[in-house]
Structures are given as structure tokens and as C-alpha cells.
Structure 1
Amino acid sequence: MYFQRRQYSMLINSGDRSGRLLRYDTCSKVLTVLQRGLAFPNGVTLNKDKSFLPVAESNSVKILKFWIQGERVTFSPQPFAQLSKFPGNIEMESKGNFRLDGYGNIVKVLQGNERNAFDFVSEVEEHDGYLSAGSPMQPFVVVIKA
């Protein structure tokens, strides 16, 4: 099955594993499927030294690691971090962490509750000592001191 973003709750409940990790070569214009069978992949980025890709897999509530450089190059996912809530994206912050250190240990948690704007955060950007957080469920952006 394939879902639109607004159908995320149906996707979560379905247990769907149709997600893929893709690589696009801009020179040759070739698209390659690196991994199939991901459970709601919802964010990918490079780590600081560009040796691996952390991938947020929402349905499994974890971050996976794909090695892309060095002796450990593999496109088989390895566990990086098990989380307590659904990851909604993943980005590197100014110190080179992802709110997780390079070993998948949680460094900092910003957590809301049912009455708090931090619920369902899907994007966080850091700029000049502040974090701007957005959510597809909220009509506003939250800005806090980092």
C-alpha cells in the first residue's frame, strides 16, 4: 500500500513496510534502491564525517544506521537507537549530533505532553542558539533557546 502524508495514522496502524532508501546519482541520473522493506522511513541525513546515514524509521520507533564509507560499507540496516516515541525526521545539529551522539545514545530530549506544542514535532532547525520546531499537526512554529 502507499499512503499520503495526511494518512500517517493509517500507515502506522497498517504495519506497512513498503518504505525504501534511494540513491540518486546526479551525473548519470541513475536512481538506485539501496534498501526495501522499511517501516515508515521518515528522515535521512549524513553524519558529520559522512561515513554513515542515520534513517528514522517511525513504525519501529528506532533510528537505523547504514554505513556508506570505510571498511564497514553496507546497505543492510544496523540498529543505531531505540526511541520511546515515533521519530519524525532526523537532522544533524551544530555539534555533529542528532540529539543522539555518534553511538546512538540520547543526548537531549525535548518532550511535550497532550497540552504542549512539542507533540508531533517533525522538524527542528538550529540557528544562532535557538531551536525552531514545526509540526504538521500545529499551525505555528515553536522557538526556544537551545
Structure 2
Amino acid sequence: MYFQRRQYSMLIDSGDRSGRLLRYDTCSKVLTVLQRGLAFPNGVTLNKDKSFLPVAESNSMKILKFWIQGERVTFSPQPFAQLSKFPGNIEMECKGNFRVALDTERRNIERDLVAVKLDGNGNILKVLQGNERNAFDFVSEVEEHVVVIKA
């Protein structure tokens, strides 16, 4: 089955695993399917040294790791992080850590988790709480801003 983004709840309920990880070579214009059978892949980025791809698999609430360079090259997913909510987009920070939006409806929940920061090994470094503010129903991407105050 194939779903549109607005049909995410049907996709989650169905247990669909029709997601794919693709590689597109801009020079040769060749598209290659690297992995099939993913459960709602929803975010992907490169790590700092470009040796692996963390991929958000929303239905399983996991971040998977795909090695793409070095001795461990494999397109078989390896576990990277298990989360308590559906991961959305992943962004790599300049220090090599990853910000992961937790794209789940925020109403009527005990813990209002909005995002997590993961290190390069998938360990949770920081959790961003929404403090039950209803500014957003859903969160799909997170940006970090540093404020510098000069005295």
C-alpha cells in the first residue's frame, strides 16, 4: 500500500512496510534502491564523517543506521536508537550530534516530549519538553538556536 502524508494515522495502524531508502547519483542520473521494507521512513541525514546514515523509521519508533563508507559498508539496517515517540526529521549538528523531532500528536499526553538530541552512537544527550504548551499540535523538525549575551 502507498499513503499520502495526510494519511499517516492509517499508515501507522496498517503496519505498512513499503518504505524505501534511495540513492540518486546526480552525475549519472541513476536511482538505486538501497533498502526496501521500511516502516514509515521519515527522516535521513549523514553523520559528520559521512560514514553512515541515521534513518528515522517512524512506525517502529526507531532510528536505524546504514553504513555507507569504510569497512562496515552495509545496507542492512542496524539499531541506532529506540525512542518513546514517533521520530520525524533528523538534523546533524556541527559537533556531530543529531536533533530528532518527535512527530506525535501533543494533546492529552503525560510526557510532552518534542525532540531529543542524540550523540554519534545513538545515546540520548538531551530531551526537549514542550511543557504542555499548545503552540503546535505536531512537531516535524527542530532547529537549535544559540543566544549569545554580551555583558
Shift in Å, 1:111: 2.5
Shift in Å, 1:49: 0.6
Contact 1:39 1:58 in 2 (8 A): yes
> What's the CA shift string for 1:89-124, capped at 9, x where partnerless?
111123210110111100111133665446521111
Choose 115-124 or 64-73, whichever is displaced more.
Answer: 115-124
> What's the CA shift string for 1:5-33, capped at 9, x where partnerless?
11111111110000000000011100000
SS in 1 for 2:118: coil
Shift in Å, 1:71: 0.3
Q: Distance in 2 between matches of 1:107 and 1:74?
A: 27
Q: Distance in 1 between matches of 2:28 and 2:95?
A: 34
Give the TM-score of the pair, scaled to structure 1: 0.82
Shift in Å, 1:126: 3.0
Which contiguous aligned blocks of 4+ residues in structure 1 show a shift greater than 3 angstroms?
113-119, 141-146
> What's the CA shift string for 1:41-74, capped at 9, x where partnerless?
0000000110000000000000000000110000
- Matched residue count: 133
Choose 45-54 or 114-123, whichever is displaced more.
Answer: 114-123
* Percent identity between the two aligned chains: 95
- Mark the CA change 1:144 to 1:48 in structure 2 (over 3 Å): closer, same or farther: farther
Give the TM-score of the pair, scaled to structure 2: 0.79
> What's the CA shift string for 1:115-144, capped at 9, x where partnerless?
5446521111234xxxxxxxxxxxxx9999
Q: Can you give the 5+ residue segments of structure 2 that lack an aligned partner in the other structure?
A: 99-116
Contact 1:80 1:103 in 2 (8 A): yes
Q: Distance in 2 between matches of 1:64 and 1:9?
A: 21
- Mark the CA change 1:115 to 1:125 in structure 2 (over 3 Å): closer, same or farther: closer
Shift in Å, 1:3: 0.7
Q: Can you give the 5+ residue segments of structure 1 that lack an aligned partner in the other structure?
A: 128-140
| Greater fraction strand | 2
